[in-house]
Structure 1
């Protein structure tokens, strides 16, 4: 249940991010109109995550799926910036490979459970 709520909140955040700062402001105002604690929570989140003053989260699309990554300001040291960008890209690729692995693992588990169910049903 907790993972589902977290996923829904993450989807809402991503949806608002895709529409920009105006969408966040509209959500905050509607939150204040509906129930002031909701609007206050959205305002606090906007300030804490720096969505109020400019976002550090950029979006890119990969195989039709949106993926988040952090874009840091250049440090002035070209070698370090290249190393950091390469490391972040490698970590993003490893994360995507792990997510794909988990999806395949879930599919295999579901198939095994379904096959077991069908075998039990045939034998009964």
Structure 2
């Protein structure tokens, strides 16, 4: 038994490391690995392609956002205390604004739903009050 199979996670350690390595490099690395897999042995390429589709790596755009937005590094301290305090305060304020906006949207949806329901009930009572030809 080698050292990698004795480690926690056992024999699945190297695929997890390879997956993490490919994830860091984005979708292009996954596509290159798939092509390389098809070149070396078509079942390997087919397996990588199936995994990409199954894990939604093929159609997700989060790797592009993660690499371009800088949000992944937002939690790491920079070493400058004043800037870190400013950044923490700004992030807290943005989270509060996001929460307030989401609650506003929820109230707005509830008001729209109530308005639609009230209109439905008014229409229903009007049609119920109209005498039919058989009466």
Normalising by structure 1, we get a TM-score of: 0.50
Bigger Cα Rg: 2
Normalising by structure 2, we get a TM-score of: 0.46
